[in-house]
Amino acid sequence: MSNGPATSLARRRPSIDIVDAKVAVDLATAQTYSENVFLFVPNLIGYSRIILAALSLHYMSYHPKYCTVLYCISCLLDAFDGHAARALGQASKFGAVLDMVTDRCTTTSLLCYLTSAYPDHALFFQFLIALDFSSHYMHMNSSLVTGSKSHKQVDSDVSRLLRAYYNPTTLFIVCAGNELFYISLYLMKWVHTPLSESFGITGYFGTWTWPELMAAVSAPICLYKNIVNLVQLWKASKILVGVDLAERAKAREEEFMRGKKD
């Protein structure tokens, strides 16, 4: 009795399936300076992103210039840690998770502020927070259980949309545009001078402020990003259910084989 899905699942698993938690803690404690994952350059960049994001949050309620500059630098550094990891051979699971957690927490903190700045749209921002976290959490777990080396490696036969999205160039543009939209909404609460006064622009757009124009340009990118989040959530859910079904089929096969031996 053979089972195709269970066999395929086994083929996709890495050579080392499980590492004992105590062994992992001991290895991390005893790591040498030359091979200290905590001190890898990409992870140092990650720590600096956290500090900059924290400073940005500190200024968010009363100093929009400092807040925006610090927030943007923190987001832009996200483009460098991956390059550093590949160039220095310092890619790590810790770094990948640190990067994702920093992204999620930074964006969520800004969205939390927007819920207070736009109370009539608080439910919308809460939905975006829930979607962002659930989508990436499910996707990360589905990547782990299927033995993928990175959550950014998606086969085209799983999802052509996600494979295209995780192209480094596309990922940078979409993530930058998404953050730009949220930053624009934040700045709209502070900037009220129309373009006709600040830049001498006449006509229809002259009545807009520059954050409003920036929000209008980046809104389609934000929409696309959240469509990707929905697709990612659905695909990850299907992968996890598929793993459940394959493992249940494998358990039945093993039970059947034990019954034949008896």
Task: Please spell the DSSP secondary structure of 44-62, one letter per residue.
Answer: HHHHHHHHHHHHHHHHTTT
Largest interatomic CA distance in the chain:
88
- If one counts every other C-beta atom within 10 angstroms of the C-beta of residue 192, the result is 9
**What does pLDDT average to over the chain?**
89
pLDDT at 29: 85
Give the active site residues. 103
Cα angle: 151, vertex 156, 160; to 5 degrees: 95
CA distance linking residue 262 with residue 259, whole number of Å: 5
Note the pLDDT of residue 15: 40
Q: How confident is the model at residue 1 (pLDDT cuts 50, 70, 90)?
A: very low
**Residue 144 in this model has a pLDDT that exceeds 90:** no
- CB neighbour list of residue 19: distance below 8 Å, 6 or more residues apart: none
At residue 261, the pLDDT reads: 78
Rounded Cα distance between 169 and 165, Å, is: 9
Of 5-14, 73-82, 95-104, 239-248, least confident by mean pLDDT is 5-14
Tell me the percentage of the chain whose pLDDT exceeds 70: 92
